[in-house]
Amino acid sequence: MPNNQFKRGELYSFITGKASTAIARRLQKKFNTAGLHITIEQWSVLYHLWKQDGISQQELCNATFRDKPSITRLVDNLEKLNLVKRVPSENDRRINLIFLTRQAQKLQEDTMALAEETLNDALTGVPADKVDICKEVLQIVYDNLK
Amino acid sequence: MPNNQFKRGELYSFITGKASTAIARRLQKKFNTAGLHITIEQWSVLYHLWKQDGISQQELCNATFRDKPSITRLVDNLEKLNLVKRVPSENDRRINLIFLTRQAQKLQEDTMALAEETLNDALTGVPADKVDICKEVLQIVYDNLK
DNA sequence: TTTGGATAGTTGCACAAACAACTATATGCC
DNA sequence: GGCATATAGTTGTTTGTGCAACTATCCAAA
């Protein structure tokens, strides 16, 4: 039997992701105000490179849940901004390894602070245990659909 | 004191909205498979017009959480697809009222069924009470930031 | 009644996403 | 070794988003 837990009036926000749109806009504004000239999408690529530098574009696709053309162009733009550098792999000439520049390394601390600030803005008034449940649900949703 | 409930490793999915991205992609695929040639964004406009037909572009901005240029172009494209029609308001000549065509009225049932199906896919294995908490949290997040 | 500010909508630009089609390289199998 | 197939990345096209600048209209106060 279908678990018909959704009435029609409740579909909308879940599908359109209004909450995450709001979070992304808020963070983008904080970047702009701070004079950091990067987009949220570019930041999301840097985020994974800060965790592990020198990974391939394909690995960035998996990590950021984007397709290959999207990563190609994000890396293009990050390269123009002098934030990353493509380095051809020596083992496999199909692969580009993406490395952070010194300039990008410097961005980590500031942008991460703004991201945490944004989440604190977002979650004001939400008890921690409900946040945990929410994260858990969103993780299952992602796993169900990815 | 700041409610520092976020460790760095947990930032990412919340900000990038991976779950809602996954939901939107799944629904888009269902539209495509069903031969329905509309985008999720166009659907989100129709969604509000099905609830109330003949509202202004500004009201669509508020309802869909988009800015005016985005709605201008979505309405442009919906008009090209013969799904809506701009009708100048008689009271206030700045305003366009947006009306569904008969063709768009016909889309409601099918697309809503696919949307519900998508949410059922997404929420498989999630207890209803956790879904409720998740919705509640996302609503607060939206209200905190909008 | 005029004028200044607010509101509704449009346009231009830069950036991003999804899909399809493409090139180049690697790998596995005969 | 040679060929089919898979993988990594790029390019073109359409669509959507966010911002700034713009036009047209409305409204309210002097």
Q: Which distant-in-sequence residues (6+ apart) come within 8 Å of A83 by Cβ?
A: A38, A42, A46, A100, A101, A103, A104, A107
Measured between CB atoms, does B62 come within 8 Å of chain A? no
First-residue to last-residue Cα distance in chain A: 23
pLDDT in tens, A70-128: 999 999 999 999 999 999 999 999 999 999 999 999 999 999 999 999 999 999 999 99
Asked if B23's CB is within 8 angstroms of A17's CB, the reply is yes
The pLDDT value given to residue B17? 87
Other residues' Cβ atoms within 10 Å of the Cβ of residue B61: 16
pLDDT in tens, B77-121: 999 999 999 999 999 999 999 999 999 999 999 999 999 999 999
> Number of residue pairs across A and B with CB atoms under 8 Å?
196
Query: Does nucleic acid strand D have an atom less than 7 angstroms from the CB of A40?
Result: no
Per CA to C1' distance, which residue is closest to C11? B69
Does residue A131 surpass a pLDDT of 80? yes
The pLDDT value given to residue A8? 45
HEC secondary structure over chain A: CCCCCCCHHHHHHHHHCHHHHHHHHHHHHHHHHCCCCCCHHHHHHHHHHHHCCCEEHHHHHHHHCCCHHHHHHHHHHHHHCCCEEEEECCCCCCCEEEEECHHHHHHHHHHHHHHHHHHHHHCCCCCHHHHHHHHHHHHHHHHHHC
Does residue A14 surpass a pLDDT of 80? no
| Shortest-distance nucleotide from B77 CA to C1' | D15
A16-145 is a CATH 1.10.10.10 domain: yes
CATH code for residues B13-145:
1.10.10.10
Query: Does nucleic acid strand C have an atom less than 7 angstroms from the CB of A96?
Result: no
Of B26, B120, B125, the CB nearest to A140: B125
Asked if A133's CB is within 8 angstroms of B134's CB, the reply is yes
The pLDDT value given to residue A103? 95
Query: Does nucleic acid strand D have an atom less than 7 angstroms from the CB of B39?
Result: yes
pLDDT in tens, B17-45: 899 999 999 999 999 999 999 999 999 99
The pLDDT value given to residue A16? 80
The pLDDT value given to residue A10? 65
Q: Tell me, what amino acid is at B56? A: S
Query: Does nucleic acid strand D have an atom less than 7 angstroms from the CB of A103?
Result: no
The pLDDT value given to residue B14? 74
pLDDT in tens, A84-98: 999 999 999 999 999
Does residue A49 surpass a pLDDT of 70? yes
Q: Which residue of A has its CA nearest to B126?
A: A137
